[in-house]
Amino acid sequence: MHTTVGIIGGGPSGLLLARLLRRAGIDSVVLERRDRAYVEQRQRAGILEQATVDVLRAAGAGERLDREGMPHDGIELRFGGRGHRVDFPELTGGRRVWVYAQTEVVKDLIALHLDDGAPLLFEAEVHAIEGVDTDRPVIRYTHEGREQTLTCDYVVGCDGFHGVARNAVPESAKRTYERTYPYSWLGILADAPPVFEELIYAHSERGFALASMRSESVSRLYLQVPNGTDPADWSDERIWDELDARLALDANPAWRLKRGTVTAKSVLPMRSHVTEPMRYGRLFLAGDAAHIVPPTGAKGLNLAAADVIVLARAFAHLKDTGSAELLEEYSATCLRRVWRAEHFSYFMTTTLHTDPEQSPFETQLQLSQLDRIATSRHAAAELAENYTGLPFDAAL
């Protein structure tokens, strides 16, 4: 089998790229190692930037998002026993974000893909990528018990940090930058209405907490915990009590943490990672295959979407003009946005979390920065602009 673009990974970035390529008249094949049920249930991000929503709509994947997604016009910062709301539209000229889980984005894109009859192979285990430094790369994979090959003009790795694509780039041809944080998130899904109509980010002496949601009846909540924490060591009651203590909502009688049945519980390590460049020969890396951000800034899925938007434009430019100029610029173009998002995610993480080794001096610096956001329009606007996503063309 031959295709113009072989896409490894059927998550949101791989599926969105395939959709954008199809609309541009460019053929592709998506190879996903997991089955469809697993991919559609894989819990990840839940916040979409304005630019991500705009491209999903343009790709024909916005109908259910517009019907069921929850637009948010701000976030609540809680620190030092008080709260402050950051108003996104007022500070950014009208931009906002949407709560719409990655699981739902993936379901929408898979349905569109299959309706079009475009090649999407689940349970296709890629075990080698060959010839990326030639004009005819080859992907070797196993599907339905048979070893098969896919020849391509180009290969795009959307298969994550541990995937085949990133590891296909020789160590001598890449640079890596990484930071591991001294804490993790204990996350739960609960059948309980959200505390508030927007997200609450809380800094406290006991550690960070985040109150989010997946719908009007399902809450997504997080607690900062030590690295290596076993979720089984945290009973449901202990989690709810700790959320109560860290969110400190007693001062506002309209807000109460609504307890319900915990349906999922997991621990998420926190780290930042960038691989440069994001291209080797005819192999392109996108999403987590090229970069990882801590989830505090809600950038992961949005960065992946930005990568494939740039890549789809470059492939369309090649098809229309015969020029590979935009493909040559892909890595440099994306990395400008990647490093901005890395910085913002680092800022949000280190400002809101309590490092086990930090001094009282460092805690006061955190509180001073949060107070600056609460009292300065310029500081609040900087947070709002980065959180909602810098205007796409300006940031690229």
387 is catalytic: yes
Report the alpha-carbon angle 345-76-251, nearest 5. Answer: 140
**Of 72, 203, 291, 353, which one is the catalytic site residue?**
72
141 annotated active-site = no
Rounded Cα distance, 67 and 241, in Å: 34
Alpha carbon separation from 349 to 146, 223, 330, 363 (Å, rounded): 45, 13, 28, 13
**Residue 205: in which H helix or E strand, if any?**
none
Check if 72 is active-site. yes
Please pick, among 141, 154, 330, 387, the residue that the annotation labels catalytic: 387
Closest Cα partner for 14 from 50, 45, 39? 39
Q: How far apart are CA 262 and CA 254, in angstroms?
A: 23
Q: Write down how long the chain is.
A: 396
Describe the crossing of helices 12-23 and 300-321 by its angle, rounded to 10 degrees: 30
d(CA 80, CA 374): 12
User: Which is nearest to 31 in space by CA: 130, 129, 153, 136?
Assistant: 129
Q: Is 299 a catalytic residue?
A: yes
Q: Please report which helix (H) or strand (E) contains residue 198, including its range.
A: none
Non-local (6+) Cβ contacts of 252 within 8 A are: 83
Give the residue from 262, 175, 187 showing the smallest Cα distance to 223. 187
Query: Catalytic: 295?
Result: yes
Catalytic residue among 222, 299, 330, 353: 299
Q: Which of 201, 222, 280, 330 is catalytic?
A: 201
Token pair, residue 296, equals 């505090």
Task: Let me know: does 282 contact 137? Beta carbons within 8 Å.
Answer: yes
- The active-site residue out of 154, 181, 295, 330 is 295
Q: Which positions are annotated as active-site residues?
A: 72, 201, 295, 299, 387
